[in-house]
Structure 1
Amino acid sequence: MNKPYHISDYYDSFKSHLVFSTSYLGLENYIADLAHHFRKTKYEGNVIIDLLLSNGKTRNRYIQIYFDGKNFDIEIAKSIKANKELQDKSLCYYAENSELLKDSVLNKSQAYLIKNRIAI
């Protein structure tokens, strides 16, 4: 089975890692796997998770969580408003991997726009 996420570097001012959901599964289904990955790579810092496929275009699409080297600090997780750079990076990822859109909460119109690199 493929992983329900894809990890990318995101060089914002915090040098965060950006995680793209690759299925409609909610974050609770794979957060332990993400923590395991970051422990193995000895990463410590911010992680931004794009939950487009499970949350759609909602205010809680992007979640920022701090990873302390061992675990995510869920207590200080927060939804964030994406800047233009983050929106563009997400749009490019999902347009280039448009097959992921079919198994998501997005309607056909939203999936069509993303496939054609038009922000929703």
Structure 2
Amino acid sequence: MFDINYSLLNSNDIIVITALNHESPLDNLKDVVARLKECKIKNKPVLVIFDLLCSNGNEWNRFVSLRFDGTKFMHQSFNVLSNDDVMPNIIDTQQSYFTQHPEIIKSSVLN
């Protein structure tokens, strides 16, 4: 299960996908692609940052990125991001999200 944060779609064309439990959205990219197309991202290239806090914990691989060309993910673009590589507004928004939804942490690997 995952959530797509549309509010972070900005001039840099970045979308954040948040894992909502211990299952990683990377394990089901077909569903992620379908959801991106549903939200009118079809045919528009974006950088997708996955926040895997709930599936990986607060580890070195919490954030990963993949380029989405508008129809599919470009697997060769896969990149593990350090916290320093992630824009501060994304970190702040994600922290706020988890603070507002503590029940998500209860169904994660952190519990």
> Which whole-Å CA distance do the structure 2 matches of 1:87 and 1:39 have between them?
25
Match of 1:5 in 2: 2
> Which whole-Å CA distance do the structure 1 matches of 2:70 and 2:88 have between them?
29
Match among 21, 26, 29 for residue 23 of structure 1: 21
- Percent of aligned positions that are identical: 25
Instruction: Give 1:12 deviation, angstroms.
Output: 5.5
1:84 matched to 2:84? The reply is no
SS across alignment from 2:17: strand
Match among 12, 16, 19 for residue 14 of structure 1: 12
SS across alignment from 2:36: helix
Query: What is the TM-score normalised by the length of structure 1?
Result: 0.77
Instruction: Give 1:11 deviation, angstroms.
Output: 4.6
Match of 2:101 in 1: 97
Cα RMSD of the aligned pairs, angstroms, is 1.7
Deviations 1:30-69, CA, capped at 9 Å, x for gaps: 3111111223321421111100000001111111110011
SS across alignment from 2:94: helix
Query: What is the TM-score normalised by the length of structure 2?
Result: 0.83
Task: For structure 1, list consecutive stretches of 5 or more residues without a partner in the other structure.
Answer: 108-120
Moved over 3 A (4+): none
SS across alignment from 1:65: strand
Greater Cα shift, 83-92 or 51-60: 83-92
> Which whole-Å CA distance do the structure 1 matches of 2:9 and 2:58 have between them?
23
Count residues with an aligned counterpart: 104
> Which whole-Å CA distance do the structure 2 matches of 1:83 and 1:58 have between them?
17
Deviations 1:4-36, CA, capped at 9 Å, x for gaps: 111113255522011111111023333111111
Give the letter aligned to residue 73 of structure 2: F
Greater Cα shift, 22-31 or 50-59: 22-31
Higher Rg: 1
